[in-house]
Chains A and B, each alone.
Chain A
């Protein structure tokens, strides 16, 4: 069965302490891998789409990378405003069906 697994479940960082989140997946035909950020009480906010192994995308302190079996979201020198739950999702098929992981809750303390 196709699966998306994120680790760790939770991550507590000091401001400025860089770290990485992992998203491993087993799908038969990857159409795209997506990273979202979700703040408490809000809907997920789109961050990145990655299509093929070796691809990288950056936005401010976030950088997403993709291999054939996993994706990493690197947070460089995080700030408290980077605190959120980061969700990974993979697309199966052509009609936009996304399968989400359980997320990694990140807390950045000053």
Chain B
């Protein structure tokens, strides 16, 4: 069984287009994340949702809009794609941190990634 899945795995599109990436987790986790990994392999967090509520919103262009229809899904919609958006996008999920008492830890489970290429 796939724990965190993303579709599509590859996405090639033209500048100016709008595209979406979907993410689903079957781990029963309450928190989901979107990360961007650039050509230098740096992983940077973009957004996080806890029980469908946005809790982390990094400095990301407002062309990027996450949507969480339920706590098992977190989709990423990107408007007016630019060349600089080319990267690998990873979805991740983790158990609800509120249940962890004094120690909040965050074993995040990652999806396989979506390689976005903007031409």
Contacts and interface: CB of A to CB of B under 8 A. Distances in A.
A complexed with B: yes
Interface of A: 31-32, 34, 36, 41-46, 49, 51, 85, 87, 89, 91, 94-100, 102-103
Interface of B: 4, 31, 33, 40-45, 48, 50, 55-56, 90, 92, 94, 97, 103-113
B98 to A, nearest CB: 9
Contacts, number: 71
A51 B102 CA distance: 11
30 contacts: A31-B103, A31-B104, A32-B104, A32-B105, A34-B107, A41-B112, A43-B92, A43-B110, A43-B111, A43-B113, A46-B107, A49-B106, A51-B103, A51-B105, A87-B43, A89-B43, A91-B105, A91-B106, A94-B97, A95-B48, A95-B55, A95-B56, A95-B97, A96-B97, A96-B106, A97-B56, A98-B108, A100-B42, A102-B41, A103-B41
Contact of A49 (B97, B107, B113): B107
